[in-house]
């Protein structure tokens, strides 16, 4: 069974190589998979359990091709989403202003740095958290990663069939949708400036799409951890999940990467995904 993630990763890397679109992360991921497969039985068990994480990486990279085939400018939510945001979540102290609009003007370097922390690490945190669970609670690791995979593939489908522009795009470019627009780190560009780095600029340059704001998977990731940990944990650790989820929500809106709507839909996608996994587990147990 451990050959499945090895063959799948190798096949995908070969496909992008044939298309001439290999990037640094492709051979790095393949090398990690091959190393885990070669180390021994325990590492192969981890590789097999981590297969959902690999499917997310492959899906996120591949969704750009589906968007190129199906997404058209007239099908992208831009100002329509901002108008809905104004009706549902207006900024309470300024008329006709959304939370991302207000934060785009009112910002502080210390808040920039604080908001960058969850954004910097969310992909690595998910992997490290899964690795930790592998040693302390393997069933929860599988539950977490499969929930994560389902949530991401729901999001990928929405990116293709319900594409949406992020706040920074509407603020900078207005309502006209230009599919050739390059990804932008938005508020994270200020963090690059503060630190004298280009980490976020280079990270977002490899983004699969500009028009994937809905749902916010940044906000879904910590909620998936929270929901899958709720029953087997106590308040000794639950507060960490809640703090992470709250910090990510603030960062997503403050950095103008997402509308509040995007975050709420991301939470809903997370809840649905966890419910699917829990329901599947119960069904399997009943049929044993």
SS3 40: coil
Q: Flag whether 36 is in a domain.
A: no
pTM of the entire structure? Answer: 0.91
Helix residue spans in the chain (DSSP H) = 3-18, 25-39, 41-49, 51-70, 79-88, 99-105, 109-136, 138-161, 167-173, 188-195, 199-205, 217-229, 235-254, 260-286
Residue 244: per-residue pLDDT = 95
Q: How many other C-beta atoms are found inside a 10 Å radius of the C-beta of residue 191?
A: 23
Assign 90 to helix, strand or coil: strand
Give the domain extent around 129: 73-286
Which own/partner pairs from 249-254 qualify as long-range (CB within 8 Å, at least 24 positions apart)? 249/219, 250/115, 251/114, 251/115, 251/116, 251/117, 251/118, 251/119, 251/218, 252/216, 252/218, 252/219, 253/99, 253/100, 253/103, 254/103, 254/107, 254/111, 254/115, 254/187
- What is the per-residue pLDDT for 65? 85
What pLDDT is stored for residue 20 in this prediction? Answer: 77
Q: Is residue 151 part of a domain?
A: yes
Q: Is residue 1 situated within a structural domain?
A: no
- 145: nearest Cα among 53, 245, 281: 53
- Token couple for 133: 């669970």
State residue 16's pLDDT score. Answer: 83
The predicted structure's pLDDT at residue 22: 78
Name the token pair of 26.
């492709």
pLDDT value, residue 25: 78
In a domain, 167, yes or no: yes
Q: How many structural domains is the chain composed of? A: 1
Residue 10 lies in a domain: no
Per-residue model confidence (pLDDT) at position 276: 96
Integer-rounded Cα radius of gyration of the chain: 20
pLDDT at 28: 86
pLDDT in 10s for each residue of the chain, 288 residues: 888 888 888 888 888 888 777 777 788 888 888 898 888 899 999 999 999 988 998 888 888 888 889 999 999 999 999 999 999 999 998 889 999 999 999 999 999 999 999 988 888 899 999 999 999 999 999 999 999 999 999 999 999 999 999 999 999 999 999 998 988 999 999 999 999 988 888 888 778 788 999 999 999 999 999 999 998 888 888 999 999 999 999 999 999 999 999 999 999 999 999 999 999 988 888 887
Tokens matching residue 3? 């050959």
Give domain status of residue 168, yes or no. Answer: yes
- Per-residue pLDDT, 279: 93
Q: CB 164: neighbour CB atoms within 10 A? A: 24
- Residue 263: CA count within 13 A, CB half-sphere: 24
Query: Is 282 a member of any domain?
Result: yes
CA 104 to CA 88: how far, in whole Å? Answer: 19
Question: Per the domain annotation, does 29 fall within a domain?
Answer: no
């Amino acid at each position: 069974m451990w050959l499945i993630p090895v063959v799948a990763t190798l096949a995908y890397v070969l496909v992008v190589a044939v298309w001439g679109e290999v990037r640094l992360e492709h051979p790095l991921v393949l090398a990690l998979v091959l190393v885990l497969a070669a180390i021994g039985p325990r590492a192969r068990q981890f590789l097999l359990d981590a297969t959902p994480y690999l499917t997310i990486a492959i899906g996120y990279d591949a969704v750009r091709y589906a968007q190129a085939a199906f997404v058209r400018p007239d099908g992208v939510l831009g100002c329509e989403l901002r108008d809905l945001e104004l009706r549902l979540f207006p900024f309470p102290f300024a008329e006709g202003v959304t939370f991302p609009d207000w934060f785009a003007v009112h910002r502080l370097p210390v808040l920039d740095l604080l908001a960058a922390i969850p954004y910097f690490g969310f992909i690595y945190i998910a992997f490290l958290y899964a690795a930790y669970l592998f040693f302390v609670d393997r069933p929860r690791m599988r539950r977490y990663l499969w929930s994560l995979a389902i949530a991401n593939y729901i999001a990928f489908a929405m990116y293709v069939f319900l594409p949406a522009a992020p706040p920074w795009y509407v603020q900078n470019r207005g309502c006209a949708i230009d599919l050739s627009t390059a990804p932008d780190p938005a508020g994270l560009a200020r963090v690059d400036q503060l630190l004298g780095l280009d980490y976020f600029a280079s990270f977002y340059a490899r983004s699969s799409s500009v028009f994937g704001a809905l749902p916010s998977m940044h906000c879904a990731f910590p909620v998936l951890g929270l929901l899958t940990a709720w029953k087997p944990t106590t308040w000794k650790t639950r507060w960490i999940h809640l703090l992470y989820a709250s910090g990510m929500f603030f960062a997503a809106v403050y950095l103008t990467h997402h509308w509040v709507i995007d975050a709420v839909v991301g939470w809903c996608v997370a809840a649905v995904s966890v419910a699917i996994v829990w329901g599947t587990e119960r069904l399997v147990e009943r049929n044993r």
